[in-house]
Amino acid sequence: MKKFSVFIVIIFSAIVYLFAQTGTVDIKASVQRGKKVYTQYCLACHQADGGGVPRMNPPLQKTEYVLGDKKRLINIVLKGSNDPIEINGEEYVNPMASHAHLSDQQIADVLTFVRNSFGNKASGITPAEVKQARAKK
Amino acid sequence: MRMLFSIVANAILCTACVAQKAEEVTIKTPTGFSTINVVKDFGRVRHIAVNTNGDLYLKLERLEKGKGIIRLRDTNKDGIYDDTLAFGNYIGTGIALKNGFLYASSNTTVYRYKLDANQNITDINNPETIVTGLVDKRQHSSKSITLDNAGNIYVNIGAPSNVCQEQDRQQGSKGMMPCPILETAGGIWQFKADKLNQSYAEGVRYATGLRNVVGLDWNDEVNELFVTVHGRDMLFQHYPQLYNQKAGAELPSETMYMIKKGDDGGWPYVYWDHLQKKKILSPEYGGDGKKTGAPQAIEPLVGFPGHMAPNALLFYKGNQFPAKYKQGAFIAFHGSWNRSPEPQEGFYVVFVPMKNGKPSGNWEVFANGFSGFEKVDNLGAVKHRPCGLAEGSDGSLYVSDDNKGYVWKISYKK
Protein backbone atom coordinates (compact mmCIF):
# COMPACT_ATOMS: atom_id res chain seq x y z
CA MET A 1 0.00 0.00 0.00
CA LYS A 2 2.77 2.38 1.02
CA LYS A 3 4.70 1.44 -2.08
CA PHE A 4 1.65 2.24 -4.18
CA SER A 5 1.27 5.71 -2.58
CA VAL A 6 4.89 6.49 -3.28
CA PHE A 7 4.33 5.38 -6.86
CA ILE A 8 1.30 7.69 -7.17
CA VAL A 9 3.24 10.61 -5.73
CA ILE A 10 6.09 10.02 -8.15
CA ILE A 11 3.76 9.81 -11.14
CA PHE A 12 1.88 12.93 -10.02
CA SER A 13 5.12 14.86 -9.51
CA ALA A 14 6.29 13.78 -12.93
CA ILE A 15 3.09 15.09 -14.50
CA VAL A 16 3.33 18.38 -12.65
CA TYR A 17 7.00 18.63 -13.65
CA LEU A 18 6.18 17.95 -17.28
CA PHE A 19 3.43 20.56 -17.31
CA ALA A 20 5.72 23.12 -15.71
CA GLN A 21 8.46 22.39 -18.25
CA THR A 22 6.36 22.53 -21.38
CA GLY A 23 4.20 25.39 -20.17
CA THR A 24 1.02 23.60 -21.16
CA VAL A 25 -2.12 24.68 -19.39
CA ASP A 26 -5.28 22.86 -18.59
CA ILE A 27 -7.29 25.14 -20.86
CA LYS A 28 -10.69 24.08 -19.61
CA ALA A 29 -9.86 24.81 -15.96
CA SER A 30 -8.11 28.04 -16.86
CA VAL A 31 -11.09 29.22 -18.95
CA GLN A 32 -13.42 28.53 -16.02
CA ARG A 33 -11.28 30.54 -13.61
CA GLY A 34 -10.73 33.21 -16.24
CA LYS A 35 -14.45 33.74 -16.71
CA LYS A 36 -14.73 34.85 -13.08
CA VAL A 37 -11.86 37.30 -13.52
CA TYR A 38 -13.46 38.60 -16.72
CA THR A 39 -16.81 39.16 -15.02
CA GLN A 40 -15.22 41.15 -12.22
CA TYR A 41 -12.66 43.25 -14.08
CA CYS A 42 -13.41 43.31 -17.80
CA LEU A 43 -17.12 42.85 -18.47
CA ALA A 44 -18.21 46.43 -17.62
CA CYS A 45 -16.28 47.83 -20.58
CA HIS A 46 -15.87 44.88 -22.97
CA GLN A 47 -19.43 43.61 -22.31
CA ALA A 48 -20.74 40.10 -21.63
CA ASP A 49 -20.45 39.05 -25.27
CA GLY A 50 -16.95 40.53 -25.72
CA GLY A 51 -18.45 42.92 -28.26
CA GLY A 52 -17.11 46.04 -26.52
CA VAL A 53 -18.77 49.42 -26.93
CA PRO A 54 -18.83 51.04 -30.38
CA ARG A 55 -16.16 53.75 -30.66
CA MET A 56 -15.28 53.53 -26.95
CA ASN A 57 -14.13 50.12 -25.75
CA PRO A 58 -12.71 47.70 -28.32
CA PRO A 59 -14.32 44.33 -29.05
CA LEU A 60 -12.52 41.10 -28.16
CA GLN A 61 -14.15 39.01 -30.86
CA LYS A 62 -11.70 37.55 -33.39
CA THR A 63 -9.39 40.54 -33.37
CA GLU A 64 -5.68 40.53 -34.05
CA TYR A 65 -5.08 42.11 -30.63
CA VAL A 66 -6.60 39.05 -28.92
CA LEU A 67 -5.55 36.27 -31.27
CA GLY A 68 -2.15 37.62 -32.35
CA ASP A 69 1.03 38.39 -30.43
CA LYS A 70 0.60 37.07 -26.88
CA LYS A 71 3.21 39.44 -25.47
CA ARG A 72 1.38 42.49 -26.74
CA LEU A 73 -1.87 41.15 -25.30
CA ILE A 74 -0.31 40.43 -21.90
CA ASN A 75 1.26 43.88 -21.85
CA ILE A 76 -2.06 45.61 -22.53
CA VAL A 77 -3.45 43.96 -19.40
CA LEU A 78 -0.32 44.69 -17.34
CA LYS A 79 0.29 48.27 -18.46
CA GLY A 80 -3.10 49.38 -19.73
CA SER A 81 -3.37 51.28 -22.97
CA ASN A 82 -4.01 54.83 -24.05
CA ASP A 83 -2.85 54.43 -27.63
CA PRO A 84 -5.27 54.78 -30.52
CA ILE A 85 -6.68 51.34 -31.23
CA GLU A 86 -8.19 50.69 -34.62
CA ILE A 87 -10.14 47.54 -35.41
CA ASN A 88 -11.86 47.04 -38.76
CA GLY A 89 -11.60 50.74 -39.56
CA GLU A 90 -13.15 51.78 -36.26
CA GLU A 91 -11.22 53.76 -33.65
CA TYR A 92 -11.74 53.13 -29.94
CA VAL A 93 -11.10 56.08 -27.64
CA ASN A 94 -11.48 55.05 -24.00
CA PRO A 95 -8.22 54.39 -22.18
CA MET A 96 -7.76 51.03 -20.46
CA ALA A 97 -6.37 51.00 -16.93
CA SER A 98 -3.39 48.86 -15.93
CA HIS A 99 -4.41 45.58 -14.34
CA ALA A 100 -0.97 44.78 -12.92
CA HIS A 101 -2.60 44.22 -9.53
CA LEU A 102 -3.98 40.91 -10.80
CA SER A 103 -1.77 37.86 -10.17
CA ASP A 104 0.12 36.09 -12.95
CA GLN A 105 -2.37 33.24 -12.61
CA GLN A 106 -5.41 35.57 -12.88
CA ILE A 107 -4.03 37.31 -15.97
CA ALA A 108 -3.13 33.99 -17.59
CA ASP A 109 -6.62 32.67 -16.83
CA VAL A 110 -8.53 35.69 -18.07
CA LEU A 111 -6.53 35.87 -21.29
CA THR A 112 -6.96 32.15 -21.84
CA PHE A 113 -10.69 32.67 -21.32
CA VAL A 114 -10.80 35.58 -23.77
CA ARG A 115 -8.76 33.69 -26.37
CA ASN A 116 -11.24 30.81 -26.14
CA SER A 117 -14.55 32.68 -25.90
CA PHE A 118 -16.64 35.04 -28.08
CA GLY A 119 -15.92 32.91 -31.14
CA ASN A 120 -12.16 32.89 -30.48
CA LYS A 121 -10.01 29.76 -30.58
CA ALA A 122 -6.36 30.15 -29.66
CA SER A 123 -3.71 28.69 -27.40
CA GLY A 124 -3.81 29.39 -23.69
CA ILE A 125 -1.53 31.76 -21.84
CA THR A 126 0.54 30.53 -18.90
CA PRO A 127 1.41 32.27 -15.64
CA ALA A 128 5.06 31.85 -16.66
CA GLU A 129 4.47 33.95 -19.79
CA VAL A 130 2.80 36.66 -17.70
CA LYS A 131 5.63 36.54 -15.18
CA GLN A 132 8.17 36.95 -17.96
CA ALA A 133 6.34 39.97 -19.43
CA ARG A 134 6.00 41.52 -15.98
CA ALA A 135 9.73 41.11 -15.30
CA LYS A 136 10.62 42.93 -18.51
CA LYS A 137 8.57 45.98 -17.53
CA MET B 1 -31.75 26.01 -66.00
CA ARG B 2 -34.48 28.57 -65.81
CA MET B 3 -35.56 27.14 -62.47
CA LEU B 4 -32.02 27.31 -61.16
CA PHE B 5 -31.80 30.91 -62.27
CA SER B 6 -35.06 31.66 -60.55
CA ILE B 7 -33.88 30.05 -57.32
CA VAL B 8 -30.63 32.00 -57.38
CA ALA B 9 -32.43 35.23 -58.20
CA ASN B 10 -34.88 34.64 -55.38
CA ALA B 11 -32.06 33.89 -52.99
CA ILE B 12 -30.32 37.14 -53.92
CA LEU B 13 -33.53 39.15 -53.68
CA CYS B 14 -34.42 37.60 -50.37
CA THR B 15 -30.97 38.27 -48.91
CA ALA B 16 -31.31 41.88 -49.99
CA CYS B 17 -34.78 42.22 -48.52
CA VAL B 18 -33.74 40.64 -45.22
CA ALA B 19 -30.65 42.84 -45.02
CA GLN B 20 -32.77 45.91 -45.59
CA LYS B 21 -35.51 44.97 -43.18
CA ALA B 22 -33.00 44.19 -40.46
CA GLU B 23 -32.32 47.92 -39.91
CA GLU B 24 -35.95 49.05 -39.92
CA VAL B 25 -37.62 49.84 -36.62
CA THR B 26 -41.01 51.11 -35.54
CA ILE B 27 -40.85 54.34 -33.58
CA LYS B 28 -43.47 54.64 -30.86
CA THR B 29 -44.76 58.13 -29.99
CA PRO B 30 -47.81 59.50 -28.11
CA THR B 31 -51.21 59.45 -29.84
CA GLY B 32 -51.51 61.88 -32.71
CA PHE B 33 -47.83 61.84 -33.61
CA SER B 34 -46.45 60.04 -36.64
CA THR B 35 -42.87 59.25 -37.57
CA ILE B 36 -41.35 58.81 -40.99
CA ASN B 37 -37.81 57.86 -41.85
CA VAL B 38 -36.40 60.60 -44.12
CA VAL B 39 -32.68 59.78 -44.28
CA LYS B 40 -30.79 56.47 -44.36
CA ASP B 41 -27.26 55.18 -44.39
CA PHE B 42 -25.15 58.28 -43.85
CA GLY B 43 -23.08 56.52 -41.20
CA ARG B 44 -22.23 58.45 -38.06
CA VAL B 45 -24.79 61.26 -38.12
CA ARG B 46 -24.19 63.28 -34.95
CA HIS B 47 -25.95 66.64 -34.59
CA ILE B 48 -28.30 68.00 -37.23
CA ALA B 49 -29.82 71.36 -38.21
CA VAL B 50 -32.79 72.34 -40.35
CA ASN B 51 -32.78 75.63 -42.27
CA THR B 52 -35.85 77.84 -42.85
CA ASN B 53 -36.10 76.56 -46.43
CA GLY B 54 -36.17 72.94 -45.25
CA ASP B 55 -32.53 72.07 -45.97
CA LEU B 56 -31.33 69.41 -43.55
CA TYR B 57 -27.67 69.50 -42.48
CA LEU B 58 -25.96 66.42 -41.02
CA LYS B 59 -22.63 66.56 -39.16
CA LEU B 60 -20.76 63.28 -39.52
CA GLU B 61 -18.32 61.69 -37.10
CA ARG B 62 -16.84 59.55 -39.85
CA LEU B 63 -16.13 60.91 -43.30
CA GLU B 64 -18.37 59.64 -46.08
CA LYS B 65 -16.42 59.75 -49.35
CA GLY B 66 -14.04 62.19 -47.73
CA LYS B 67 -16.71 64.63 -46.51
CA GLY B 68 -17.96 65.42 -43.03
CA ILE B 69 -21.06 67.56 -43.66
CA ILE B 70 -24.09 66.66 -45.76
CA ARG B 71 -26.77 69.07 -46.92
CA LEU B 72 -30.00 67.43 -48.10
CA ARG B 73 -32.46 69.49 -50.10
CA ASP B 74 -35.95 68.76 -51.37
CA THR B 75 -35.96 70.85 -54.55
CA ASN B 76 -39.44 69.92 -55.81
CA LYS B 77 -41.07 69.92 -52.36
CA ASP B 78 -42.46 66.41 -52.60
CA GLY B 79 -41.18 65.47 -49.17
CA ILE B 80 -38.18 63.53 -50.47
CA TYR B 81 -34.64 64.87 -50.46
CA ASP B 82 -33.48 64.85 -54.06
CA ASP B 83 -30.31 66.92 -53.83
CA THR B 84 -27.25 65.95 -51.80
CA LEU B 85 -24.33 68.27 -51.23
CA ALA B 86 -21.30 66.92 -49.34
CA PHE B 87 -18.53 69.18 -48.07
CA GLY B 88 -16.09 69.80 -45.20
CA ASN B 89 -13.17 67.37 -44.88
CA TYR B 90 -13.34 67.05 -41.10
CA ILE B 91 -15.24 64.82 -38.70
CA GLY B 92 -17.12 66.23 -35.72
CA THR B 93 -20.40 66.62 -33.87
CA GLY B 94 -21.56 70.24 -33.70
CA ILE B 95 -23.73 71.98 -36.30
CA ALA B 96 -25.95 75.06 -35.98
CA LEU B 97 -27.57 77.78 -38.08
CA LYS B 98 -27.67 81.40 -36.96
CA ASN B 99 -28.07 84.81 -38.62
CA GLY B 100 -27.21 83.68 -42.13
CA PHE B 101 -24.32 81.41 -41.20
CA LEU B 102 -23.85 77.68 -40.83
CA TYR B 103 -21.55 76.78 -37.92
CA ALA B 104 -19.89 73.36 -37.72
CA SER B 105 -17.29 71.87 -35.40
CA SER B 106 -14.47 69.37 -35.68
CA ASN B 107 -13.03 67.98 -32.43
CA THR B 108 -10.63 70.97 -32.17
CA THR B 109 -12.11 73.76 -34.28
CA VAL B 110 -15.32 75.66 -35.03
CA TYR B 111 -15.91 76.86 -38.59
CA ARG B 112 -18.63 78.88 -40.21
CA TYR B 113 -19.98 79.15 -43.75
CA LYS B 114 -21.83 82.17 -45.10
CA LEU B 115 -25.25 81.55 -46.65
CA ASP B 116 -26.61 83.73 -49.45
CA ALA B 117 -30.20 84.92 -49.92
CA ASN B 118 -31.09 81.57 -51.52
CA GLN B 119 -29.66 79.71 -48.53
CA ASN B 120 -26.72 78.43 -50.54
CA ILE B 121 -23.25 78.38 -49.04
CA THR B 122 -21.18 81.05 -50.76
CA ASP B 123 -17.87 79.20 -50.55
CA ILE B 124 -18.07 75.59 -49.39
CA ASN B 125 -14.32 75.03 -49.59
CA ASN B 126 -13.22 78.00 -47.53
CA PRO B 127 -15.10 78.36 -44.27
CA GLU B 128 -14.02 80.94 -41.72
CA THR B 129 -12.25 79.54 -38.68
CA ILE B 130 -13.99 80.94 -35.61
CA VAL B 131 -12.40 78.89 -32.81
CA THR B 132 -9.25 76.80 -32.98
CA GLY B 133 -6.83 74.80 -30.82
CA LEU B 134 -9.32 73.16 -28.45
CA VAL B 135 -8.33 70.11 -26.41
CA ASP B 136 -8.80 66.78 -28.21
CA LYS B 137 -7.46 63.81 -26.30
CA ARG B 138 -9.86 61.35 -27.96
CA GLN B 139 -12.01 60.68 -24.89
CA HIS B 140 -15.07 63.00 -24.79
CA SER B 141 -13.63 64.95 -27.71
CA SER B 142 -16.80 66.06 -29.49
CA LYS B 143 -17.41 69.82 -29.50
CA SER B 144 -21.13 70.52 -29.36
CA ILE B 145 -22.14 74.11 -30.12
CA THR B 146 -25.05 76.51 -29.70
CA LEU B 147 -25.49 80.27 -30.13
CA ASP B 148 -27.29 82.94 -28.11
CA ASN B 149 -29.04 86.07 -29.41
CA ALA B 150 -26.22 88.41 -28.46
CA GLY B 151 -23.48 87.31 -30.85
CA ASN B 152 -21.88 84.53 -28.79
CA ILE B 153 -21.20 80.89 -29.50
CA TYR B 154 -20.96 78.28 -26.73
CA VAL B 155 -18.68 75.29 -27.13
CA ASN B 156 -18.60 72.21 -24.94
CA ILE B 157 -15.09 71.01 -24.14
CA GLY B 158 -15.51 67.58 -22.56
CA ALA B 159 -13.04 66.37 -19.93
CA PRO B 160 -10.71 63.73 -21.39
CA SER B 161 -11.15 61.70 -18.21
CA ASN B 162 -13.70 59.76 -16.19
CA VAL B 163 -13.30 61.47 -12.82
CA CYS B 164 -9.91 63.25 -12.89
CA GLN B 165 -7.98 60.43 -11.20
CA GLU B 166 -4.19 60.42 -11.17
CA GLN B 167 -4.51 57.34 -13.40
CA ASP B 168 -7.67 57.59 -15.48
CA ARG B 169 -10.10 54.71 -14.94
CA GLN B 170 -7.64 52.92 -12.63
CA GLN B 171 -9.29 51.26 -9.65
CA GLY B 172 -7.98 52.81 -6.41
CA SER B 173 -6.31 55.80 -8.09
CA LYS B 174 -7.05 59.03 -6.21
CA GLY B 175 -8.74 62.08 -7.64
CA MET B 176 -6.41 65.01 -8.35
CA MET B 177 -6.95 68.04 -6.11
CA PRO B 178 -7.49 70.52 -7.60
CA CYS B 179 -8.36 68.88 -10.89
CA PRO B 180 -5.97 70.38 -13.51
CA ILE B 181 -8.16 69.24 -16.39
CA LEU B 182 -10.66 71.99 -15.55
CA GLU B 183 -8.28 74.67 -16.85
CA THR B 184 -8.87 73.63 -20.47
CA ALA B 185 -11.80 71.19 -20.42
CA GLY B 186 -14.73 69.91 -18.38
CA GLY B 187 -16.82 73.00 -19.09
CA ILE B 188 -18.47 75.33 -21.56
CA TRP B 189 -16.44 78.05 -23.25
CA GLN B 190 -17.96 81.20 -24.74
CA PHE B 191 -16.54 82.82 -27.88
CA LYS B 192 -17.61 85.60 -30.22
CA ALA B 193 -19.67 84.17 -33.06
CA ASP B 194 -18.07 86.44 -35.69
CA LYS B 195 -14.44 86.80 -34.61
CA LEU B 196 -11.83 84.73 -36.44
CA ASN B 197 -9.22 82.35 -35.01
CA GLN B 198 -10.11 82.56 -31.35
CA SER B 199 -8.55 80.08 -28.95
CA TYR B 200 -8.61 79.67 -25.18
CA ALA B 201 -6.98 83.08 -24.68
CA GLU B 202 -9.83 84.88 -26.45
CA GLY B 203 -12.58 82.72 -24.99
CA VAL B 204 -14.29 82.80 -21.62
CA ARG B 205 -14.72 79.74 -19.46
CA TYR B 206 -18.46 80.25 -19.14
CA ALA B 207 -19.11 77.27 -16.86
CA THR B 208 -16.93 74.60 -15.27
CA GLY B 209 -17.33 71.27 -13.47
CA LEU B 210 -19.28 69.74 -16.36
CA ARG B 211 -17.71 66.39 -17.26
CA ASN B 212 -19.02 66.04 -20.79
CA VAL B 213 -21.89 68.08 -22.18
CA VAL B 214 -23.01 66.69 -25.49
CA GLY B 215 -26.49 68.24 -25.57
CA LEU B 216 -26.83 71.99 -25.24
CA ASP B 217 -29.31 74.62 -26.41
CA TRP B 218 -30.02 78.27 -25.86
CA ASN B 219 -33.43 78.78 -24.26
CA ASP B 220 -34.96 81.89 -25.84
CA GLU B 221 -37.82 82.01 -23.33
CA VAL B 222 -35.53 82.75 -20.38
CA ASN B 223 -32.48 83.75 -22.44
CA GLU B 224 -30.11 81.28 -20.76
CA LEU B 225 -27.92 78.33 -21.70
CA PHE B 226 -29.11 74.82 -20.86
CA VAL B 227 -27.00 71.68 -21.03
CA THR B 228 -27.27 67.91 -20.56
CA VAL B 229 -24.27 66.16 -18.99
CA HIS B 230 -22.88 62.65 -19.23
CA GLY B 231 -22.11 61.51 -15.67
CA ARG B 232 -19.12 59.46 -14.57
CA ASP B 233 -18.66 55.70 -14.91
CA MET B 234 -17.45 52.83 -12.69
CA LEU B 235 -18.95 53.47 -9.24
CA PHE B 236 -19.80 49.79 -8.72
CA GLN B 237 -16.79 48.36 -10.53
CA HIS B 238 -14.29 50.49 -8.59
CA TYR B 239 -16.12 50.69 -5.25
CA PRO B 240 -18.09 47.46 -4.82
CA GLN B 241 -17.93 47.97 -1.03
CA LEU B 242 -19.96 51.20 -1.42
CA TYR B 243 -22.20 50.52 -4.43
CA ASN B 244 -23.96 47.34 -5.45
CA GLN B 245 -24.47 46.39 -9.06
CA LYS B 246 -27.90 48.03 -9.29
CA ALA B 247 -26.70 51.26 -7.64
CA GLY B 248 -23.76 51.39 -10.02
CA ALA B 249 -26.13 51.07 -12.98
CA GLU B 250 -28.54 53.71 -11.68
CA LEU B 251 -25.91 56.22 -10.45
CA PRO B 252 -24.76 58.84 -10.93
CA SER B 253 -27.63 60.73 -12.57
CA GLU B 254 -27.41 62.03 -16.09
CA THR B 255 -28.30 65.67 -15.61
CA MET B 256 -29.88 68.74 -17.18
CA TYR B 257 -28.75 72.15 -15.90
CA MET B 258 -29.57 75.75 -16.53
CA ILE B 259 -26.18 77.45 -16.77
CA LYS B 260 -25.34 81.02 -15.86
CA LYS B 261 -21.96 82.58 -16.44
CA GLY B 262 -19.50 81.38 -13.79
CA ASP B 263 -21.52 78.32 -12.73
CA ASP B 264 -19.82 75.15 -11.49
CA GLY B 265 -21.43 71.73 -11.96
CA GLY B 266 -19.15 70.11 -9.35
CA TRP B 267 -17.33 67.51 -11.47
CA PRO B 268 -15.10 65.69 -10.58
CA TYR B 269 -15.53 66.29 -6.85
CA VAL B 270 -19.24 65.46 -6.64
CA TYR B 271 -21.94 63.78 -8.68
CA TRP B 272 -25.72 64.18 -8.60
CA ASP B 273 -27.75 61.41 -7.00
CA HIS B 274 -31.39 61.71 -8.13
CA LEU B 275 -32.54 59.18 -5.53
CA GLN B 276 -31.13 61.12 -2.56
CA LYS B 277 -31.49 64.44 -4.44
CA LYS B 278 -28.02 65.48 -3.27
CA LYS B 279 -24.56 66.32 -4.56
CA ILE B 280 -22.60 63.29 -3.36
CA LEU B 281 -18.84 63.40 -2.82
CA SER B 282 -17.01 61.21 -5.36
CA PRO B 283 -15.33 58.21 -3.71
CA GLU B 284 -12.06 59.21 -5.44
CA TYR B 285 -12.26 62.36 -3.26
CA GLY B 286 -13.15 60.59 -0.03
CA GLY B 287 -16.85 59.99 -0.58
CA ASP B 288 -18.79 57.01 0.76
CA GLY B 289 -21.99 57.25 -1.25
CA LYS B 290 -23.64 59.42 1.44
CA LYS B 291 -21.31 62.34 2.24
CA THR B 292 -22.18 65.48 0.29
CA GLY B 293 -19.72 68.00 -1.10
CA ALA B 294 -19.03 71.03 -3.32
CA PRO B 295 -21.50 73.45 -1.68
CA GLN B 296 -20.68 76.05 -4.34
CA ALA B 297 -21.82 73.77 -7.17
CA ILE B 298 -25.22 74.28 -8.76
CA GLU B 299 -27.95 71.64 -8.68
CA PRO B 300 -29.44 70.17 -11.85
CA LEU B 301 -33.03 70.80 -12.95
CA VAL B 302 -33.50 67.11 -13.70
CA GLY B 303 -31.60 63.97 -12.69
CA PHE B 304 -32.16 61.04 -15.04
CA PRO B 305 -31.11 57.41 -14.41
CA GLY B 306 -27.40 56.78 -14.91
CA HIS B 307 -25.35 56.28 -18.05
CA MET B 308 -28.15 56.85 -20.60
CA ALA B 309 -26.00 59.44 -22.43
CA PRO B 310 -28.07 62.57 -23.22
CA ASN B 311 -26.56 63.54 -26.59
CA ALA B 312 -28.88 66.31 -27.71
CA LEU B 313 -31.10 68.96 -26.12
CA LEU B 314 -33.73 71.02 -27.94
CA PHE B 315 -36.29 73.52 -26.69
CA TYR B 316 -39.44 73.26 -28.76
CA LYS B 317 -40.49 76.61 -30.22
CA GLY B 318 -43.05 75.52 -32.80
CA ASN B 319 -46.83 75.51 -32.86
CA GLN B 320 -47.40 72.17 -34.59
CA PHE B 321 -47.23 70.02 -31.42
CA PRO B 322 -49.90 70.35 -28.69
CA ALA B 323 -49.53 73.25 -26.26
CA LYS B 324 -47.86 71.21 -23.51
CA TYR B 325 -44.77 70.80 -25.71
CA LYS B 326 -44.23 74.53 -26.27
CA GLN B 327 -40.95 75.68 -24.66
CA GLY B 328 -40.43 72.17 -23.29
CA ALA B 329 -37.19 70.23 -23.64
CA PHE B 330 -36.60 67.25 -25.90
CA ILE B 331 -33.54 65.18 -25.02
CA ALA B 332 -32.06 62.44 -27.24
CA PHE B 333 -30.53 59.65 -25.18
CA HIS B 334 -27.82 57.74 -27.03
CA GLY B 335 -28.13 54.72 -24.70
CA SER B 336 -25.88 53.34 -21.99
CA TRP B 337 -22.98 50.89 -21.80
CA ASN B 338 -21.87 51.22 -18.18
CA ARG B 339 -24.93 49.45 -16.74
CA SER B 340 -23.82 45.92 -17.64
CA PRO B 341 -24.43 43.25 -16.54
CA GLU B 342 -27.77 45.02 -15.92
CA PRO B 343 -29.69 45.66 -19.17
CA GLN B 344 -28.68 48.85 -21.00
CA GLU B 345 -31.02 51.85 -20.88
CA GLY B 346 -31.79 54.89 -23.00
CA PHE B 347 -31.93 54.72 -26.81
CA TYR B 348 -34.96 57.03 -26.80
CA VAL B 349 -36.09 60.67 -26.94
CA VAL B 350 -37.42 62.14 -23.72
CA PHE B 351 -39.67 65.14 -23.17
CA VAL B 352 -39.43 67.43 -20.13
CA PRO B 353 -42.36 69.87 -19.82
CA MET B 354 -40.97 73.33 -18.96
CA LYS B 355 -42.31 76.72 -17.92
CA ASN B 356 -40.08 79.75 -17.55
CA GLY B 357 -37.00 77.59 -17.76
CA LYS B 358 -38.06 75.19 -14.99
CA PRO B 359 -39.53 71.70 -15.30
CA SER B 360 -43.32 71.89 -14.84
CA GLY B 361 -43.86 68.14 -14.62
CA ASN B 362 -42.11 64.78 -14.74
CA TRP B 363 -40.03 63.74 -17.72
CA GLU B 364 -41.50 61.12 -20.03
CA VAL B 365 -40.29 58.96 -22.88
CA PHE B 366 -41.54 60.66 -26.05
CA ALA B 367 -40.15 58.53 -28.89
CA ASN B 368 -38.95 54.98 -28.38
CA GLY B 369 -38.00 51.91 -30.36
CA PHE B 370 -34.76 53.12 -31.98
CA SER B 371 -32.67 50.24 -30.59
CA GLY B 372 -34.95 47.63 -32.13
CA PHE B 373 -35.12 45.74 -28.81
CA GLU B 374 -37.43 45.76 -25.80
CA LYS B 375 -34.40 45.12 -23.61
CA VAL B 376 -30.81 45.78 -24.69
CA ASP B 377 -28.23 43.30 -23.40
CA ASN B 378 -25.95 43.33 -26.39
CA LEU B 379 -24.79 46.76 -27.56
CA GLY B 380 -23.40 45.39 -30.80
CA ALA B 381 -26.91 44.37 -31.88
CA VAL B 382 -28.50 47.79 -31.28
CA LYS B 383 -29.88 49.13 -34.56
CA HIS B 384 -30.04 52.89 -34.01
CA ARG B 385 -28.81 55.28 -31.34
CA PRO B 386 -30.47 58.72 -31.08
CA CYS B 387 -27.84 61.47 -31.21
CA GLY B 388 -29.12 64.72 -32.69
CA LEU B 389 -32.32 66.80 -32.64
CA ALA B 390 -33.59 69.64 -34.82
CA GLU B 391 -36.83 71.48 -35.34
CA GLY B 392 -38.15 72.24 -38.81
CA SER B 393 -39.78 75.58 -39.54
CA ASP B 394 -43.14 73.74 -39.73
CA GLY B 395 -42.64 72.56 -36.14
CA SER B 396 -41.72 68.94 -36.96
CA LEU B 397 -39.03 67.30 -34.83
CA TYR B 398 -36.06 65.58 -36.49
CA VAL B 399 -34.07 62.84 -34.73
CA SER B 400 -30.73 61.56 -36.00
CA ASP B 401 -28.93 58.27 -35.36
CA ASP B 402 -25.15 57.92 -35.35
CA ASN B 403 -25.11 54.15 -35.68
CA LYS B 404 -26.59 53.64 -39.14
CA GLY B 405 -27.04 57.25 -40.22
CA TYR B 406 -30.83 57.47 -40.16
CA VAL B 407 -32.97 60.55 -39.58
CA TRP B 408 -36.65 60.46 -38.62
CA LYS B 409 -39.19 63.26 -38.85
CA ILE B 410 -41.87 63.32 -36.16
CA SER B 411 -45.04 65.29 -36.88
CA TYR B 412 -48.36 65.88 -35.16
CA LYS B 413 -51.84 65.97 -36.61
CA LYS B 414 -54.99 66.54 -34.58
Q: Where are the domains of chain A?
A: 26-135
pLDDT confidence of residue A136: 87
* A43, A51, A82: residue with CB nearest B379: A51
Q: Is the pLDDT of residue A23 over 60?
A: no
pLDDT confidence of residue A77: 98
A97·B169 Cβ contact <8 A: yes
CATH of A26-135, one of 1.10.10.10, 1.10.760.10, 3.40.50.300, 3.40.50.970: 1.10.760.10
Segment 71-130 of chain A within 8 Å of chain B by CB: 80, 82, 84, 91, 93-98, 101
pLDDT confidence of residue A84: 87
Q: pLDDT for A77-103, tens place per residue?
A: 999 999 889 998 899 999 999 999 999
Residue B73: φ, ψ to 5°: -130, 140
Q: What CA–CA distance (Å, rounded) separates B358 from B257?
A: 10
Residue pair B310/B229 in contact by the 8 Å Cβ criterion: yes
Q: What CA–CA distance (Å, rounded) separates B104 from B57?
A: 10
Burial of B338 (0-12, 13-18, 19+ CB in 10 A): buried
Q: What CA–CA distance (Å, rounded) separates B362 from B375?
A: 23
pLDDT confidence of residue B154: 98
Give me the residues paired with residue A65 across strands. Answer: none
Which one is predicted more confidently, A72 or A21? A72
A43·B403 Cβ contact <8 A: no
Q: What CA–CA distance (Å, rounded) separates B193 from B112?
A: 9
pLDDT confidence of residue B16: 44
Residue pair B359/B369 in contact by the 8 Å Cβ criterion: no
- Name the percent of chain B in helix, strand, coil, to the closest 5: 10, 35, 50
| CATH architecture designation of domain B2-412 | 6 Propeller (2.120)
* B139, B338, B379: residue with CB nearest A95: B139
CB burial of B265-285 (b: ≥16 within 10 Å; e: otherwise) equals bbbbbbbbbbeeebbbbbbbb
Give the contacts of B354 (CB within 8 A, at least 6 positions apart): B221, B315, B327, B328, B329, B360
Contacts of B43 in chain A (CB under 8 A): none
What is the mean pLDDT, run by run of 10 residues, along chain B of 414 residues? 46 45 89 97 97 98 96 96 98 98 98 98 98 97 98 98 97 97 98 98 98 98 98 97 97 98 98 98 98 98 98 98 98 97 96 97 98 94 97 98 97 92
Closest CA in chain A for residue B382: A54
pLDDT confidence of residue B249: 97
Three-class DSSP category at B213: strand
pTM: 0.92
- How many other CB atoms are there within 10 angstroms of residue B128's CB atom? 16
Put simply, whether A63 touches B (Cβ < 8 Å) is no
Chosen for mutation from A35, A45, A79 (greatest number of chain B CBs closer than 10 Å) is: A45
